Amino acid sequence: MLEVKGLVTAYGPIEVLHGIDLTVNEGEIVTLVGANGAGKTTLMRCISGVQPVRAGSIRFEDADLTRAPDHARAGLGIAHSPEGRQIFGDLEVEENLRLGAYHRTDDITADLQEVYELFPILRDKCLQPAGSLSGGQQQMLAIGRAIMGKPKLMLLDEPSMGLAPVLVDQILEVITTLRDRGVTLLVVEQNAFAALSIADRGYVMETGKITLSGRARDLIADPRVREAYLGA
């Protein structure tokens, strides 16, 4: 579904991704793990179109998206739940959700109900300003907004950041539920064990490069990954 080849990008004169190769197959959960500053969020921004690419290519299904604008990628079925949530705090919860479907022309009622089924607290607070939600509820809203785009591929950047363990478990359960419902997911997550435990495959990033890749269960067992990212 997604193929990234030789991807290079920079912030001004400073190159931060150095020839990234990555694939995501339809129906998979693929996770990116790595330390802060490894380039994980930058890679996600390149895929969603908000960070320009200096070299290399990005293909989604049969389309070359390397130079495509971000709104065109959303229309093709890529949704991005960014690091830091980036909700519209002054708008109501449901208004935030409806904005996730801005490019759609079909009936979104069923998708709105799906989000409320996955996150019942959002139904209870649907008329409240999004900025009044707790951190965990805002993360649910950010994921729900991405769902409203009816994506084929969902990019989730640090979905468990700053959440209590019980909420982390809920978010991970939602991720696997989405995969079971036909959504393909690329997940950036600092909680490496949690991410790899639900993923099909994984990539390890260090200083703008992919240094390891493979089946998630093999990465969990890899001594290098265990020492660097799993605290073992």
pLDDT above 80 (res 230): no
- Give the whole-angstrom CA distance, residue 129 versus residue 119: 16
Q: Mean pLDDT lowest for which of 39-43, 136-140, 159-163, 182-186?
A: 159-163
The label of the residue with tokens 């790899």 reads 196
- Give the whole-angstrom CA distance, residue 150 versus residue 35: 31
* Res 3: pLDDT: 98
Between 230 and 39, name the one with better pLDDT.
39
Tokens at residue 59, please? 């293909």
pLDDT above 70 (res 232): no
Instruction: Catalogue all structural domains in the chain, each as residue range(s) with its CATH number.
Output: 2-77+151-229 (3.40.50.300), 86-148 (no CATH)
pTM of the model: 0.92
For the segment 15-36, the average pLDDT, to the nearest whole number, is 96
Return the number of other C-beta atoms located less than 10 Å from residue 132's C-beta: 12
Q: Is 34 exposed, middle or buried (0-12, 13-18, 19+ CB in 10 A)?
A: buried
| pLDDT tens digit sequence for 65-104 | 999 999 999 999 999 998 877 899 999 999 999 999 998 8
